[in-house]
Chains A and B, each alone.
Chain A
Amino acid sequence: MNGEGGPLDERLGRLRAAVDAAASIGLEAEGARTRTVARRVARRAGFGGAVYVMALAGGTGVGKSSVLNALAGEEVSPAKSVRPTTDAPVAWVPADKRDELDALLDWLKVGSIVTHEGRELDDVAILDLPDIDSVRVEHRATVDALLPRIDAVTWVVDPEKYDDHREHAYWRSLVPHADRLRFVLNKADRLTDADVKVVADDLRARLIASGIPRPEVHVVSAVRGTGIDGLREALADAGHAKVIIATKLETDRAAAAERLGRSVGLDADEGYRPLLAPEDRERRTREAIDGALELVDLDGLARQVRGAVMHRARIGGGSFLGRLIALGSSFTGRRGRRADPAAYLRAWRSRGAMGRVLNPLRAAMVEAAGGLPASSRGRVLTALGALSAEADVARVIDRAVAGAGELEIPRSPLWPVIGALQVVVGAVLLFAVAWMVVLFVAGGGVPVATVSAPLLGPIPMPLALLTASVLISALLGWILGLHAGWIGRRLAAGVGARVEEAIREGVVRDAFGGLDRVEEARRVIAAAADLG
């Protein structure tokens, strides 16, 4: 049947993909259950659809075998008064289909096969099953193993046994297959006609209450043969074997997919919906990003960048003293503390608690897991990395700072020029100092008044030179500082923006990686369950 969602093969393919998806998020057991169904459906489909299999099921002593014998008009499966009678399933099949049914019956583990030449029921193999309620618990196990492989079921009850708790449990499990389920109320001969009607109506009411909307109930007496013709006709008119088999398999597949969907919190009525509402996810992401930025400390980073630029500027264009101090700071470690942005970034761990990033992420994960059934919550949370979130977050931040934190501290052509000027000024300064030393010290006892020095206006030349060079050096230093500060601020702004962007991207992309994997798996499962 090429119904909605493509041919069975394709739909089964999606179901298998869903099984893998479930396993990838820790739901191996649920996946394995679904895989069993997928295999069973594929296997049954492989046997071909000329004949469908209908089983007579029910409690011990209600007359399953008698009903089959009555349908067949001969003893197919011996009916006895000692309970339970039928130990292994017996098949009653059309003789001309016997051969092609071989593999199928073998799969159903039916050893005992009786053929018939009748033309009426020529596309159905009828199985007489063991009971489901006797002290022989292995009978029940046989039925439980077999029932899922059966295409259609006729459930037999009798006036004494039509309300047992155990039968109700089976009926409820057969609700999805209600279209291929019919009921036989046997031993009608034990009741008056009026009572038969009362019991049949009560049975119908109970079936409806069990979730079977329009139960088909045949009142028969296998020993007297009444009602058997009606049952036979109903079986003959049940429709094409192919359609019966196809709808059965599709029902199984859909039920398995829906069940798998429920284990990941997918509701058939609601369709696919992410575990974490987009607005919640956005809010938690924002909180995590804010936390990560606090850890990375962009302000501190800017200071470091400015410090590094200033350091380089001093080396390149500082005064003699400035260069000396700059060089010295590299040795004392002061530069490392104040002017090493890359190291500062790398050491983000020492600047705050990871909780600022972690707590909102974990809150989001737990909120998301709240949408899962309690049975799968723990496993999915583990699969989604709730427990390893700490390491994951560290990785995200590490990667972000590693990518953005690499920076070349620039040089400016202006600095060497200033440096050269500083050298000149420094030389002038030295010269002026030397001059004055010569005048005052080396002159040796010569009175100041007699020392003649060229005058620049009223000021003696050495003094003028000294003053001017100090002032010019300071001016150059100020210009250098101004320029380096400007470059540093620009660079810091650039680096800061880059780190911030990298953190944002990293958190958005990776911090919810586990959740994204779970959502991806849920989408695959939703597709298998036809939940768009």
Chain B
Amino acid sequence: MQNRGGVERERESGRPGPADALGRLADALKRRAASAPGPDREAKAESLRRHVQDYLQPRAADLDAPLLVVILGSTGSGKSSLINALAGRALSPSGVLRPTTRKPVAIGDRDDLGGRMGSLAQRTGLDMRTGEGARRGLVLVDAPDFDSVELENRDKAMELLEVADLAIFVTTATRYADQVPWHVLGRARTRGVPLLAVVNRLPEDAEDADAVLADYRALLERGKLVDSGAAGSLAVVAVPEGALDVERDALAADAIKPIRDALDRLVASHDDRRALARRGLAAALKGIPEAVEAIAGQVDEEQRSVAELRASADRAYGAARQALDDEIKRGTFMRAEVLRQWQEFIGAGQIARFLAEGIGKLVATVRSLIEPAPVAPATEVREAAFADLTALAVQHADTAAQRTATAWSGDRYGALALAADEALWRASPELAERLTTDLEDWARGIGDRIRTLGARRKGWAQAASLGVNVVGTSAVLAVFVHTGGLTGAEVGITAATAVVNQKLLEAIFGEANVVAFVNGARDDLRQLLDQAFADERARWSEKLGATGDPKLATELRRLAHEVAAMVPA
């Protein structure tokens, strides 16, 4: 190891350098993969991360590590026959059934199979061979196909492409114009991996064969691949139909001589190997911004989309919360029968006596002697009032949920999130129960304050005889019902109750205190409802998952440019 790479040196000097940028880029891509919506985008980030972590990082650290040579091609194009020919023995069985190679075979010198090759082998299920046919300094891999019905094969092939130092691209006279391989070649170009090309099964007719080769070259030119050759310009190695070495289950040795020679040259010359590694690395570093941009662009688009989704949820819940507030302010959400029950109770018996003055007090006292004292419906009325408020709140939370869901269902990510959770179409099922509990707590708080307030007042003993429960319910109703903006015929039971109720409270606490007290209770109620609606709203944010980091795109782009500025040693 002549060049113990940059990473160690940096660690010693404690200064973040370019290799460190690779690590940070890999890390940013990892975060991206973890937060990407949908498997396609996740795979895109993950595959670039592999390229950075399993190729760029080790290669930047050490240009002298063994080269990974990957044989890529369509199903049935003869990749296995090629590796068998290069190894000089039947390593990977070829066959007539498609796809043939499911477990990719690799061959290399025993000393070269450790390190990154080892971890790569484990991950892609490489069958590592050594011994006869191995070339020192090169590890040769027969990749699975990328176009058969076995999609897993494609994933493995693409992963191998991301980490290759040299790719041998195999096609056939039937296949050479297929679209899928050209996608793969497109990635090979942006990745900057040096290439060797083989066209297998060329027709016997020389004219036909030439036509195919010329057409293939034209396509390579159009694909801007002619400069990607392992030794400069990309040479196409032609293998005629039937040029087989049946004994070795391989292509005929002389037909693939140019490939063999190219590999042998690399084996022979340390400098050639190093130059190839450097060229591949330099091209790969240069290709990083374009590859990262494809992902950063997606992140940007997602952020915009997510921001729009958030905004639509905010709008819906804001409007619903406002509408709820308006209805509470109007004070007409209570059922009339509940109010009547309360009014009748207050208008009779000891309360009337308590409220009345002078002669009225006498009358009330006499009446209370004749009529049986009514049982205070304080608990029933309070519970009914809470049920009414809860129904109202659920109504508006439902409205918000449906508005948001409708907006989201028109958006790709929104629809994705919605499909995962049907319950989003409604207010959360626990909302009613939660509000009931919260309101009970709130009422308890009111009771406590009444006691504290009462302890400081002269008339308290008398009020206390009514029971804190009654006074508490009265205070609850004072928050819920008031004359608001009602006029004329509308001024019915609601306003009437409000008036009597107000009188009762004022008699106990004094006018000024009642205003302050009711306002305080109303603020608490507002907070309680704010919190409930915020939690309802939060269900939607959760569904947007960890698309969180809005700076990710910028970070990715910055790191990509740092990486692109790196110059291989």
Give residues in A with beta carbon < 8 Å to B: 59-62, 80-84, 133-137, 140, 158-166, 168, 190-191, 195, 198-199, 202, 206, 291, 294-295, 297, 299-300, 333, 336-337, 340, 343-344, 346-347, 349-356, 358-359, 362-363, 366, 369-370, 374-375, 377-379, 381-382, 386-387, 390
Contacts and interface: CB of A to CB of B under 8 A. Distances in A.
A206 B327 contact: no
B174 A60 contact: yes
A390 B175 CA distance: 63
B178 interface: yes
Interface stretch (B92-100, B466-474, B513-521): B92-100
Interface in B235-250: 241
B409 A379 contact: yes
Contact of B333 (A333, A353, A362): A353
Bin chain B's interface residue count: 35 or more
Contacts of A134: 177-179
A135 B175 CA distance: 10
B77 interface: yes
Nearest to B416: A374
Contact of B205 (A81, A159, A351): A81
Given A297-B337, A359-B391, A370-B422, A387 B174 contact: no
B190 interface: no
B176 interface: yes
Nearest to B151: A165
A101 to B, nearest CB: 32
A448 to B, nearest CB: 32
Nearest to B218: A82
Nearest to B484: A350
Interface stretch (B108-116, B208-216, B360-368): B208-216
A297 to B, nearest CB: 4
Given A83-B174, A343-B489, A366-B426, 13 more contacts: A59-B178, A60-B177, A160-B76, A165-B180, A166-B180, A206-B149, A347-B492, A350-B332, A351-B493, A359-B394, A378-B406, A382-B406, A387-B399
A358 B395 contact: yes
A352 B175 contact: no
Interface string B175-214: 1111110100000000000000000010101001101100
Nearest to B402: A386
A140 B426 CA distance: 44
B332 A352 contact: yes
Given A198-B97, A299-B337, A163 B402 contact: no
Given A300-B337, A366-B425, A369-B425, A164 B149 contact: yes
27 contacts: A60-B174, A82-B212, A133-B180, A134-B177, A134-B178, A140-B179, A163-B76, A164-B147, A165-B147, A165-B148, A165-B151, A295-B335, A299-B337, A337-B491, A343-B489, A350-B490, A351-B334, A352-B336, A353-B333, A355-B392, A355-B393, A356-B391, A362-B426, A374-B422, A377-B425, A378-B409, A378-B418
A161 B392 contact: no
A351 B149 contact: no
Nearest to A303: B340
Nearest to B176: A83
Interface of B: 74-77, 96-99, 147-149, 151, 154, 172-180, 182, 201, 203, 205, 208-209, 211-212, 215, 219, 241, 327, 332-337, 340, 388-389, 391-396, 398-399, 402-403, 405-406, 408-410, 415, 418-419, 422, 425-426, 486, 488-494, 496
A493 B261 CA distance: 107
Nearest to A382: B406
Contacts of B337: 294, 297, 299-300
Contacts of A161: 76, 174-175
A135 B177 contact: yes
A217 to B, nearest CB: 15
Contact of A374 (B97, B391, B415): B415
B76 A378 contact: no
Nearest to A369: B425
Contacts of B392: 353, 355
A413 B503 CA distance: 44
Nearest to A158: B174
B388 A81 contact: no
Contacts of B419: 374
Contact of B493 (A83, A160, A300): A300
A292 B147 CA distance: 63
Nearest to A61: B174
B423 to A, nearest CB: 9
A81 B491 contact: no
A160 B174 CA distance: 8
Nearest to A159: B96
A492 to B, nearest CB: 15
